[in-house]
A and B are shown apart, each in its own frame.
Chain A
């Protein structure tokens, strides 16, 4: 099973600032099968990025995914008020189980 470790646990930033979230895998994620989700309180996760760098339908271009192998990054170029939430990475390699990171909370400073 691939273990995903996200850092930092909490990111305190102001609107307009840049957010950089990290996701590190315990072994290489095949074909960059990595996704990012955003979750707000009381809501289901929302798909942001898949294939490490492809934005899902309707996701603003301030969200950018990058990385390969074991190191992946989600960058939010300029934080909007609605971007303060918890973000999860998830790997979905060819062989289940598919696993999630423990999350990074982006909070208002």
Chain B
């Protein structure tokens, strides 16, 4: 059973870069056809898909964040990463990493496996 675990600073200053790590166990992030996404949930409970990295290493981002977001990976550690630059208070949320349900090409965009989420506050 694949498991995901987010980690990273819980507090980021405005204008700085938010950096989070998702550590995956029970499955390889290079397994064919799965997408590995970052999703955030705002305090008002709305959910927003941020982007994904595919098994091949290709990425796709939400256009609303595209100029500020980067998703990368370290296959040797079975981890993938989120970087979000120039953060403001509007970026405060619980950040989740998640995996798609089944291998597919192009990748499917719904999520069977989730981490427990990590809260991020933006404040000086």
Q: Spell out A's residues near B (CB within 8 Å).
A: 1, 33, 35, 43-47, 50, 56-57, 86, 88, 90, 92-94, 96-100, 102-103
Contact = CB atoms under 8 A, between A and B. Distances in A.
Contact of B110 (A43, A92, A97): A92
15 contacts: A33-B109, A35-B111, A43-B116, A44-B115, A86-B45, A90-B47, A96-B52, A96-B61, A96-B62, A97-B62, A98-B109, A100-B46, A100-B47, A100-B48, A100-B49
Given A97-B63, A97-B64, A45 B111 contact: yes
Given A45-B114, A47-B110, A56-B112, A96 B101 contact: no
A99 B49 contact: yes
A47 B46 contact: no
Contacts of A56: 101, 112
Given A33-B109, A99-B49, A102-B46, A50 B101 contact: yes
A94 B116 contact: no
Contacts of A98: 49, 109-110
Interface of B: 45-49, 51-52, 60-64, 96, 98, 101, 106, 108-112, 114-117
A33 B108 CA distance: 9
Given A35-B110, A44-B96, A103 B45 contact: yes
Nearest to B48: A100
Given A35-B111, A47-B112, A100-B46, 4 more contacts: A90-B110, A96-B61, A98-B110, A100-B47
B116 A44 contact: yes
B54 to A, nearest CB: 12
Contacts of A35: 110-111
Contact of A96 (B45, B60, B112): B60
B111 A88 contact: no
A50 B68 CA distance: 30
A57 B1 CA distance: 13
Contacts of A1: 63
Contact of A47 (B47, B49, B109, B111): B111
B96 to A, nearest CB: 6
Nearest to A34: B110
